Copies of this chain bind each other. A is one copy, B any other.
Amino acid sequence: MLRTHTCGELRLTDAGKQVTLCGWVQRVRDMGAMAFIDLRDRYGITQLFLDKDPKKSFSAKLTTIGREYVLQVTGTVKERESKNLNMPTGEVEIIVSEFEILNESETPPFTIEEHTDGGDDLRMKYRYLDLRRANVRANLQLRHKVAQQTRTFLDSKEFIEVETPVLIKSTPEGARDFVVPSRMNKGEFYALPQSPQTFKQLLMVSGFDRYYQIVKCFRDEDLRADRQPEFTQIDCEMSFVEQEDVLNMFEGLVKHLFKNVKGIDIKELPRITYADAMKQYGSDKPDTRFEMKFVELNEVVKGKNFKVFDEAELVVGICAKGCAEYTRKQLDELTDFVKRPQIGATGLVYARVNADGSIKSSVDKFYDEAALRQWAEAFNTQPGDLILVLAGKADKTRKALNELRLELGSRLGLRDKNTFSCLWVVDFPLLEFNEEEGRYFAMHHPFTAPKPDDIHLLDENKLGEVRANAYDMVINGVEIGGGSVRIFNKELQGKMFGILGFTEEEAQKQFGFLMNAFQYGAPPHAGIAFGFDRLCSLFGGADSIRDFIAFPKNNSGRDTMIDAPSTIDSKQIRDLGIEVL
């Protein structure tokens, strides 16, 4: 080893020891006859003291070094005169006796500090320098720990980690696949997996009964903010279980992770049906760090000649506690917020419950004090509360109110990143009607089992009413994991493919192997997958997944550091039996 210690481990108790450290120059303070250097490595920063006595061989070298030079220094640990108690090594310094420059460095294009002066593009281009920053490094260390603890938990539950293939077969259902032209089978392509879904189901058919994998998945989508073309999943499947078993097992995983990564005890996860989530929060991933549930007002507000409400399918509102004194400007901001095209409400009605108990609304013309008193009762308000109401088509209005609720939550500081609220959303619809294509799509995927009680609806042409044994784990308003009980019966699977518009031939071509496998004794099984990047960023208290991925791609799917994708040799292209248009 070129070092005896790291830059993070020396303490007062080491005083007097001769040590050798290696690391990068964080800072040089030249004081004339002497100099201080902060030497940094993965483990911390240690202060070096250099006496610039010209007889010392290193005094000449000293003048040349700059930020990010790589040094190897030997010296004696000494108690500092002026201690820095903000850093673990802050009580000591090294009196340097030998000094070697292992490598030089150009001046980096941005500062290697927590609050760097580098913008996003520059940081990504020089990601190898960005990763030197303590906070970015900490993100990846956190990721390592989450992976480690995930494995510890699942290993303890007899899950087997099985690697499924990356070069698989393209399936037209769902998002677009990345494909790989086959040189040995010209005109044919592999696809990169969007998830190991069918393989993990085959492993269940094989009797592997508890499978997991922390696995890369791929999706060739136009990247929305914070989507990556390659992403990582914690992918799991179990046999001989019912939904309840899966929920309990993975509630256990999440509790284990919070406990062992964050030191937080999570209580039993509440469960809410999809229908209730939509009704109470207007979202299938409600942020339950704060209450502010929806209150439906149709019965309270209709018939008072206020056309907007009278004609609305749904009048629904929320109560913002203690916001009665919002200024006109603040209320206008909220109105503008809900009227933004991406939210699309036509207006916002409010009612202030004043400190003296009186109520004033923006629709006083239609609703007198007694009528408004009914509103207040519906919301169970207290003096000082503000009621905000939207009206219109039910689905759209709920969605808009969800956005308003979240906005208010943020404004009121109710969405603290260090508070965690987890829940299960259950009983998702099996199918979702796509207006554009005029047909039903699987809400999760084609392998999700309908609730046994609802199977008859499949034959009664009530497809939209069929509920699935499907579940999502939601934390702080983010879908962290999702899964379902699977169909394990060939006939039912065939029927599902039919409903989803596959001809028998297409179903056979795409999923024949799975349907064949189901002929040979498939066990009842169910599973779940967690978005690993998202889970890490949630644990790290960040909004973006990008800084929890070592080498992420930008919104055009480019790695600007290595400049990929890139053109390739024309011979290489020809050898693949393809041509670039």
Binds B, one of A139-147, A297-305, A343-351, A539-547: A139-147
A sample of 16 inter-chain contacts (CB < 8 A) reads A2-B524, A68-B520, A103-B489, A104-B521, A137-B206, A144-B160, A148-B155, A169-B563, A170-B566, A184-B557, A189-B568, A202-B551, A203-B550, A509-B566, A577-B580, A578-B580
Query: A218: which of B166, B177, B513, B569 is its contact (CB, 8 Å)?
Result: B166
Q: A174-214: contact bitstring with B at CB < 8 Å (1 yes, 0 no)?
A: 00111111111111111110000011001101111100000
Query: A167: which of B22, B207, B550, B564 is its contact (CB, 8 Å)?
Result: B564
Asked if A165 is at the interface of the complex by the 8 Å CB criterion, the answer is yes
Bound CA span A3–B148, Å = 29
- Given A164-B550, A167-B218, A550-B203: A209 in contact with B565 (beta carbons within 8 A): no
A42 touches B207 (CB 8 A): yes
Asked if A12 is at the interface of the complex by the 8 Å CB criterion, the answer is no
Give the chain B neighbours of A40 by CB distance below 8 A.
207
Give the chain B neighbours of A209 by CB distance below 8 A.
41-42
Most interface-central of A126, A127, A186, A519 (chain B CB within 10 A): A519
Asked if A229 is at the interface of the complex by the 8 Å CB criterion, the answer is yes
Bound CA span A188–B132, Å = 30
B167 touches A103 (CB 8 A): no
B564 touches A190 (CB 8 A): yes
Asked if A572 is at the interface of the complex by the 8 Å CB criterion, the answer is yes
Asked if A84 is at the interface of the complex by the 8 Å CB criterion, the answer is no
Give the chain B neighbours of A232 by CB distance below 8 A.
163
B180 touches A179 (CB 8 A): yes
A42 touches B208 (CB 8 A): yes
Query: A185: which of B155, B240, B512, B556 is its contact (CB, 8 Å)?
Result: B556
- Given A218-B167, A513-B562, A578-B578: A3 in contact with B553 (beta carbons within 8 A): no
A163 touches B523 (CB 8 A): no
Bound CA span A520–B24, Å = 10
Asked if A16 is at the interface of the complex by the 8 Å CB criterion, the answer is no
Give the chain B neighbours of A229 by CB distance below 8 A.
167
Most interface-central of A172, A553, A568 (chain B CB within 10 A): A568
Closest to A129 in B: B520
B557 touches A185 (CB 8 A): yes
